[in-house]
Structures are given as structure tokens and as C-alpha cells.
Structure 1
Amino acid sequence: MSLADTIKNAFVPINREGYPFIAAFAGVTIVLGIFSTHLFWIGLILTAWCAYFFRDPQRITPVDDRLVVSPADGIVSAVGPAVPPRELGLGSTEMTRISVFMNVFSCHVNRSPVRGRITTIEHRAGKFLNAELDKASVENERNGLVIDSPHGKVAAVQVAGLVARRIVCWTEAGNDIGVGERFGLIRFGSRVDVYLPEGATPKVALGQTSVAGETIIAEFGAHAVSPLVRIS
């Protein structure tokens, strides 16, 4: 690898959604620096954190229609049956739900768990409870996508959190989307719920760290078995 490639790889791309926030942090830092050196350094640290928050690294996604990949970076906070949000039109029957919680240090760019055509996008206003709470899936502000995948309808729901107050979605209903493709982000802490149809077997455990677009969270097919979990 050349020196130029090494330098290039050392810098993670910043998503353009973060530019106004980074600029605002930097502007405030400069003003603070006029009055206090200590405040300047505090502002500089916060500006660096803001840039880190909006990072958007490249990911290598496994290409296999049997696999479901994580829609977010973070910790798996729920695995089990749950009724999908009513506004998505998926009925009242329980589906397999896998939730990934993102804290303020996680990369917040969200990626599609499967490939297919987006049939529905619905936004619902709501509360801003701690996104780690199970009831946040029902009561918090959210934005849901329904993807018609090769194995049936899969939903990815962006859920706002205690700090997060802005859900961003870059795609539209009717668009085709690839597995691991970016579709939005949530600012400053949140979670993403994935609802899977019958035939999907979870491949992650509670507390496991997942990487958006790379970690396999479920698999379709009769041969798929639930993973054994070892805590060490």
C-alpha cells in the first residue's frame, strides 16, 4: 500500500448531514477561544466528537439473499417476537424483531438489512424516551421502511431516543435498495428495529456488538440454526 493510500485510509469520510453541526461547533469554539483558552480546548474536543459522530465509513457487506445484516452500529438490545408498528400495514401478528441500540459514540448512518423494493415509508410523531427501553418501539417518534425482499416483507424502523430529535431518511417508497445500502441516520443516540417474516432465524444474542452493513443478524432457510452463545 502506498503512502497516499495509507493517509487516505486514516481519515474516515464524514456524512454531509454533519457539515452544518460541525461548522456550528467550530464557530462556537472560535468565539469561546476569544474569552478563554480552557473553553477553547473544551470546544475543540466537542467539535472533534461531532465530526466523529457523523463519520460514514465504508463497509463490506456479504451478498447473499439468505442473510440479513445489521442496519446500525451498536448493541443488540432485543431479540424476540413483537407486533410491528401499525402504520406499516404488516398486520397484528408477531414477527421476529431484532433491535440495535446506538449510543452517542456509535456511527449513526443506517443501512438496509436486505435488498428489495421499498413499498412503504411511514413517519410517526411520538415521545423521546430512552431508546434502550422496550416501550420506545411503541411510544417514541419513529420512521419505518417496509422492504419487499426475496423472502417476504422486512421492516426497518428508525426509533428516536432520549437525545435524538431528528430522524433523517434519504430514500423514497418505490425505490429499489441494496443490502447494506445507506438509507438514513438518526442524530445523537437512538435505535433501529428490524422486523422479519417467518423463516428468519436470529444469528445474534442480546448484548452483542453489531456493525451496520457487515454483521449478520439473521438468516433465512430451514438449515439455519440459532447460534450458541458463550460469555467470556
Structure 2
Amino acid sequence: MKIHREGYWYIVIATILWIGLAWTAIYLIPDSVSWIADAITFILFLLWFWVVIFFRLPLRNMVHGEDKIICPADGKVVVIEETYEPEYFKDKRLQVSVFMSPINVHVNRNPVSGVVKYMKYHAGKYLVAWHPKSSTENERTTIVIGNDNGDILMRQIAGALARRICYYVGEGDVVKQNEEFGFIKFGSRVDLFLPLGTVVDVKIGDVVKGGVTVIAHNKR
């Protein structure tokens, strides 16, 4: 397991807080109630440990395939439905959404190989990620990858805790399946908008892994 580059600064801050506040508690709290200092130190350690785990980058055997649409994120499938996509396609698409909890790996990966045909960042609110309006009102990015099988839209959506969406691609970039296209910090959601008729290989409630779980197959 590695630590993602987005986490280096956060881990430094968490380490300073853990050491500094724990030292202060140990030396300022009287020995008669030393358990309070021990409790504070333990809580600070748990916070530091969570920050480290949040930014983990596990080594995985990625799944590949031109006919496969690979899951872009770790989490749980919370939406599978036909819906109108108003930003790029402006027509009906099959939406598959993955909710990423604060304990999931938060790397986002390209579900297919192709060319980035559209990319836009939107500033916005921080509604909970499962709120119906979060996909249109929250901080988010929209990225469209096109190849011979058609176009796929990915949308990173910030949640109530997530305050920073990172993205590493731009229009015109040639991208490969399972390469990182972004990272969302501290809880979020990723939506996929697929062509109608796409064969979906997951169901609502499934726990999925980015770069590993096959979300769907291209329509043939």
C-alpha cells in the first residue's frame, strides 16, 4: 500500500497536531487525572490514523477490456436509472452512481480508454452526496471520454464533508482505462452516464472497487 500524493500535506498537519496537542495534554493535565491526557492522546492518534488510511493507495490487479466499463471509484452503488443529462448530452442516459464514504479509497479512475471530449469544473454547494440536487448544485466536475464505443460522462460530486475535488485531465487528453483522472477528499459520489441499452453488471447496494469491478459492458 502507498499513500496518495494528495494526502502528504494533510498527514503532516495531522502528525503535528497529534504530537503537539498530545504533548500539551500530558504536561498540563495533573497526574491525578492523567487518564484524561491518555484519552486525548488516543483520540488524536485515531484521527491521525484515519487521515493516513483515507489517503491510502492500495496495489490492485486492475481489470481491463475494450468492451468493459470499469468502476471509477470504491464505494456502494446507490443509483441505477434512466435520467435526463442536461449539461453535455441533453438527452436521456443510463445513470449509475457510486457513493464513497469517508472510509473508502478516494482515487477516481477512467472507466474506459479514449479521448477527453469535454471537461468542466463547477463550484457549488456541499449538500450530502445522496441528496437529489447534489449532482446539479454541489461542487463537481464533468468529464466526457469518447472512443469507438461511444461517449461516457463521469461526474465527480463533492459531499457534505468533501471540500476539494481534484482532477488531472483536460479536453483533448488521451487517457487509458484505470489511470487516475481525479481524487475527492473526505466523502463524495461519482456518477456515470452511459448510453441507453448499456448492459449493467451491478445492482443497487453492491460494494464496488475502482479499477476492478466491471460496472457495465458496451452495447453490441
Tell me by how many angstroms 1:150 deviates. Answer: 2.4
The 5 Å alignment of 1:152-231 reads 152-222=150-220
SS in 2 for 1:78: strand
| Structure-2 separation of matches of 1:193 and 1:149 | 19
Unaligned regions of 5+ residues in structure 2, if any?
Answer: 26-36
Question: Could you tell me which residue of structure 1 aligns to residue 135 of structure 2?
Answer: 137
Tell me by how many angstroms 1:220 deviates. Answer: 1.4
Deviations for 1:165-223, whole angstroms, at most 9, x for unmatched residues? 1000012221111111111110000000011123411111111100001101111134x
Question: Could you tell me which residue of structure 1 aligns to residue 92 of structure 2?
Answer: 94
Structure 1 outlier segments of 4+, above 3 Å: none
Aligned equivalent of 2:3, options 9, 14, 31: 14
| Structure-1 separation of matches of 2:157 and 2:149 | 24
Q: Which has the higher strand share?
A: 2
Is the 1:74–1:102 Cα contact (8 Å) retained in structure 2? yes
| Structure-1 separation of matches of 2:182 and 2:75 | 16
Tell me by how many angstroms 1:63 deviates. Answer: 2.1
Is the 1:161–1:190 Cα contact (8 Å) retained in structure 2? yes
| Structure-2 separation of matches of 1:115 and 1:150 | 10
| Structure-1 separation of matches of 2:197 and 2:115 | 19
Tell me if 1:43 matches 2:56. Answer: no
| Of 118-127 and 158-167, the range deviating more from structure 2 | 118-127
Question: Percent identity at matched positions?
Answer: 36
How big is the alpha-carbon RMSD for the aligned residues of Structure 1 and Structure 2? 1.2
Aligned residues: 208
Length-normalised TM-score, structure 2? 0.90
Question: Could you tell me which residue of structure 1 aligns to residue 31 of structure 2?
Answer: none
What amino acid is aligned across from residue 104 of structure 1 in structure 2? P
Tell me by how many angstroms 1:83 deviates. Answer: 2.1
